Chain A
Amino acid sequence: MPLHGEFKQPGGKLVVVDLELRDGYLAEVHVSGDFFLEPPEALDDIVAALTGTPVDASEDDLATRIDEALAPDAMLIGFDARGVGKAVRRAVTDGSPRERL
């Protein structure tokens, strides 16, 4: 079942994570939101860093993996690797189907 998590840094931008759990690992990871990211292809690096990560990876672990996967010139504007980690944790822990107003 697809899981959905969101996190918005105060004063920053929304990060949305949709993913599935497969044998205890993150799969079918999608990261979206109203953030800014340069170069845009850096999104693929973020997704690759998350895919295949154990489901019990902490916010710290997730943030470290993302930071290590990003090229030195990547610029995250309005969000950061930790925020993506928070959205992943929310998807994994209480993220059932999209919660909407």
Chain B
Amino acid sequence: MSTDTDRFARFRPRWNELDWQLIRTGAQAPELHMALDEVLTYEVGSGHRKPTLRIWEWASNAVILGRFQSVRNEVDPDGAARHDITVMRRITGGGAMFIEPQNAITYSIYAPDSLVRGLSFIDSYAFMDEWVIQGLRSLGVEAEYVPINDISSTAGKIGGAAQTRRGGAVLHHVTMAYDMDPAKMLEVLRIGREKLSDKGSVSANKRVAPLRQQTQLPRQVVIDRLVETFADLRGLTGGELTTDELTRAEALAKEKFLSDEWRYLLP
């Protein structure tokens, strides 16, 4: 481990005191993913569910806005309609993600908030993703964490994390670019000048370095390696969603995450 991560030395053993479960299902609708994150965070916080790593598979295209983003400021409505994009809002802050099912690698970690106790919000981002940096490096990607919440490499940005602490749990989720269509992304997302003011470039697509280009490996092979890395470092047992969790998430997806009131919370 580099000196950059040594400050986590006394916190790192906490991972291995937890009994980690893996959830990896078939493709699910964007609104169900949003709802599962909310339901599973509270389930872990209340102790009903063990700490969990969930690997996502997407059933359709989507733009996932951060909790505090304005639809109008981030999404081009014509581009979104043209490319069959559903606009969703997640419960965590951070920036918009442009999702095409086979281009994204997404996961969530749900843990008791004792895992990150004593760490600042900013440090807890890098702490929650140390394993993924290690997994990417094992694939030959020169990955590093760029605070606050970027997973990056010498070739460019790979992905971003978002986090929230509630109900006694921490939710940490990440989307990485496996592949991307920069032209399509720029038709769908509005990237403003101020946003890029400290990036040294006004070209959004120059900043992204998808994992396909960096590894030349199939998407599932990359995901498998990341899961193996988590299992090796932290321990991981196969698990599944309970009927109750799924039923509640389906109801929440419909009542909250598909509602205009939530999606256009900040119009």
B70 A16 Cβ-Cβ under 8 A: yes
User: How far apart are A85's CB and chain B's nearest CB, in angstroms?
Assistant: 15
B198 A11 Cβ-Cβ under 8 A: yes
**A94 contacts B by Cβ under 8 Å:** no
B163 A30 Cβ-Cβ under 8 A: no
**B46 contacts A by Cβ under 8 Å:** no
A30 B93 Cβ-Cβ under 8 A: no
Which residues from chain B contact A36 at a C-beta distance below 8 Å?
A: 92-94, 121, 148-149, 162-164
User: How far apart are A15's CB and chain B's nearest CB, in angstroms?
Assistant: 9
Proximity bits, B248-267, A CB within 8 Å = 1, else 0: 00000000000000000011
Interface residues in chain B, defined as those with a beta carbon under 8 Å from any beta carbon in chain A = 66-70, 73, 91-96, 121-122, 147-149, 162-166, 190-195, 197-198, 202, 266-267
Chain A interface size, under 10 / 10 to 19 / 20 to 34 / 35 or more: 20 to 34
Query: In the bound complex, how far is the Cα of B191 from the Cα of A99, in angstroms?
Result: 11
Query: In the bound complex, how far is the Cα of B93 from the Cα of A77, in angstroms?
Result: 9
Closest to A10 in B: B198
Instruction: Given A32-B73, A37-B68, A38-B164, check contact A100 B192 (CB 8 Å).
Output: yes
A-B contact count (CB 8 A): 84
A32 B192 Cβ-Cβ under 8 A: no
B194 A7 Cβ-Cβ under 8 A: yes
Query: In the bound complex, how far is the Cα of B148 from the Cα of A11, in angstroms?
Result: 8
Which residues from chain B contact A37 at a C-beta distance below 8 Å?
A: 67-68, 93
User: How far apart are A2's CB and chain B's nearest CB, in angstroms?
Assistant: 10
Given A34-B94, A36-B93, 17 other A-B residues pairs in contact with their CB atoms under 8 A:
A6-B194, A10-B197, A10-B198, A11-B198, A12-B148, A30-B267, A33-B68, A34-B66, A34-B69, A35-B93, A36-B94, A37-B67, A38-B165, A40-B67, A40-B68, A77-B93, A101-B192
Across the A-B interface, give the 7 residue pairs with the lowest CB-CB distance, nearest first. Answer: A34-B95, A36-B93, A32-B70, A6-B194, A10-B198, A32-B266, A77-B121
User: How far apart are A41's CB and chain B's nearest CB, in angstroms?
Assistant: 11
Query: In the bound complex, how far is the Cα of B192 from the Cα of A32, in angstroms?
Result: 13
Most B CB within 10 A of own CB, among A10, A30, A32, A75: A32
Most A CB within 10 A of own CB, among B69, B121, B191, B192: B192
**A22 contacts B by Cβ under 8 Å:** no
Closest to B197 in A: A8
B69 A8 Cβ-Cβ under 8 A: no
